[in-house]
């Protein structure tokens, strides 16, 4: 794996001129406590460590803006997630629960939205965490060690959202193979793929849904945030009543973003970079932005052609490199 400093982050295929789209990053790791990790970040990139609770700390005013590190367990943070918790517990019980499970539950680094050209700085703060004892190689005994990208989405542009959703669905099998690296340990912890019936539906030539249909179709097939491309934050912002009627307790915050949560974090590997997974997302957006290629890929999928593994007749003509 190339060292982080040589990693190349490809640009999004956005036409100019327009305001640059920003990208937030979430990366999970094992090892140091949230407090210790926040202290290591502040020592490396500046900022003030502020405790939100026993297992959640902010690093305010760092070189990358306001960072956060927290135990990835919403029951440990009832003051923030209380309204969506089926069972509510108090701060003291939440703190105790967090200490009890901290050996098995990852910590999560949360980086605020950045321009694409600054994503290499995320690699550098992950290096700081590794130096502080952060470890992990893609998965724990209980699930993926997540690497998530939150990419600004055009919330009012339903055709663009639909195209990105379709492009991801068509490329998902390929992305899963690349991310799992042939390791069953990693593959079995990836989020479930979009159901074939859903992908077949949205790949139909005449599929141009309005907002209500888009929300209803997505929720009917994907009533969970556990998807490689989770559209629930985006859809919650578009139609909160519809989404919450279906998912009253799901952990969702309304955000106009594409929540790309298929990748896995490898903080324990020296030189690991988030660039490869970022570039996989860029390939999705490139396919979505090319109407002819997207339509050809959708036709190939509906015809049952096995292009996804590189063996079908349209593989090289249709898929981004």
Kindly report, residue by residue over 257-277, the tens digit of the pLDDT.
999 999 999 999 999 999 999
pLDDT of residue 42: 98
Predicted pLDDT at 54: 87
**Mean pLDDT computed over 229-247:** 97
Average pLDDT for 247-256? 91
Q: In which band, very low, low, confident or very high, does the pLDDT at 2 lie, cut at 50, 70 and 90?
A: very low
pLDDT higher at 320 or 261: 261
Q: Are 282 and 11 in contact (CB under 8 A)?
A: yes
Residue 24 has pLDDT above 70, yes or no: yes
310 pLDDT above the threshold of 60: no
Cα–Cα distance, 105 to 90 (Å, whole number):
20
Does residue 139 surpass a pLDDT of 60? yes
Query: Distance of CA 155 to CAs 158, 159, 224, 234, 239, Å?
Result: 7, 10, 20, 7, 11
End-to-end CA distance of the chain: 19
- Alpha carbon 172 to chain centroid distance? 14
CB 57, CB 98: distance < 8 Å: no
Report the pLDDT value the prediction gives residue 29, as an integer from 0 to 100: 97
- Contact 146/264 with Cβ under 8 angstroms? yes
Task: Give the number of other CB atoms < 10 A from CB of residue 28.
Answer: 22
Q: What is the pLDDT of residues 70-118, one digit of tens each?
A: 988 876 677 765 555 556 667 777 677 667 777 889 999 999 999 999 9
State whether the Cα torsion 50-55-56-61 is positive or negative. Answer: positive
Decide if pLDDT at 184 tops 80. Answer: yes
Question: Over the chain, what is the mean pLDDT?
Answer: 89
Residue 316 has a pLDDT of 41
pLDDT the model gives residue 19: 87
Angle CA 312–316–319, to nearest 5: 95
Residues in the chain: 321
Q: What is the pLDDT of residue 312?
A: 44
Return the pLDDT at 266.
98
Residue 92: its pLDDT value, please?
76
The single residue listed with the structure tokens 């997630």 is 81
Mean pLDDT, rounded, for 28-50: 97
Q: Which of 97, 51, 103 lies closest to 78 in space, CA to CA?
A: 97
Question: pLDDT-based confidence at 215, cuts 50/70/90?
Answer: very high
pLDDT at position 16, please?
75
Q: What integer is the mean pLDDT of 191-196? A: 97
Asked if the model's pLDDT at residue 153 lies above 60, the reply is: yes
Point out the least confidently predicted range of 2-11, 70-79, 197-206, 307-316.
307-316
% the chain with pLDDT above 90: 75
Between 2 and 254, name the one with better pLDDT.
254
Q: Which pLDDT belongs to residue 84?
A: 53
Give me the pLDDT at residue 303, please.
92
């Amino acid at each position: 794996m190339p060292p982080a400093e040589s990693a190349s982050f490809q640009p999004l295929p956005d036409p100019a001129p327009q305001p640059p789209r920003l990208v937030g990053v979430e990366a999970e790791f094992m090892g140091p406590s949230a407090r210790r990790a926040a202290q290591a970040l502040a020592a490396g990139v500046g900022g003030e460590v502020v405790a939100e609770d026993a297992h959640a700390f902010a690093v305010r005013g760092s070189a990358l803006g306001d960072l956060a590190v927290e135990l990835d367990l919403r029951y440990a943070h009832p003051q923030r997630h209380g309204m969506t918790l089926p069972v509510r517990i108090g701060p003291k019980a939440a703190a105790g629960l967090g200490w009890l499970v901290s050996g098995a539950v990852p910590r999560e680094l949360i980086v605020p939205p950045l321009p694409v050209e600054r994503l290499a700085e995320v690699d550098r703060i992950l290096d700081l965490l590794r130096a502080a004892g952060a470890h992990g190689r893609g998965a724990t005994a209980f699930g993926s060690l997540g690497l998530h990208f939150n990419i600004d989405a055009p919330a009012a542009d339903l055709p663009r959202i639909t195209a990105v959703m379709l492009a991801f669905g068509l490329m998902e099998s390929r992305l899963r193979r690349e991310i799992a690296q042939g390791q069953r340990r990693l593959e079995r912890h990836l989020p479930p793929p979009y159901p074939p019936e859903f992908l077949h539906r949205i790949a139909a030539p005449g599929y141009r849904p309005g907002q209500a249909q888009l929300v209803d179709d997505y929720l009917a097939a994907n009533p969970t945030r556990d998807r490689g491309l989770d559209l629930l934050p985006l859809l919650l912002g578009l139609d909160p009543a519809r989404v919450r009627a279906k998912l009253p307790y799901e952990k969702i915050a309304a955000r106009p973003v594409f929540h790309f949560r298929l990748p896995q974090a490898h903080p324990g590997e020296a030189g690991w970079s988030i660039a490869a997974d970022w570039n996989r997302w860029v390939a999705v957006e490139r396919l979505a932005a090319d109407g002819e290629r997207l339509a050809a890929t959708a036709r190939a999928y509906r015809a049952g052609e096995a292009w996804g593994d590189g063996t079908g007749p349209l593989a090289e003509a249709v898929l981004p490199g």
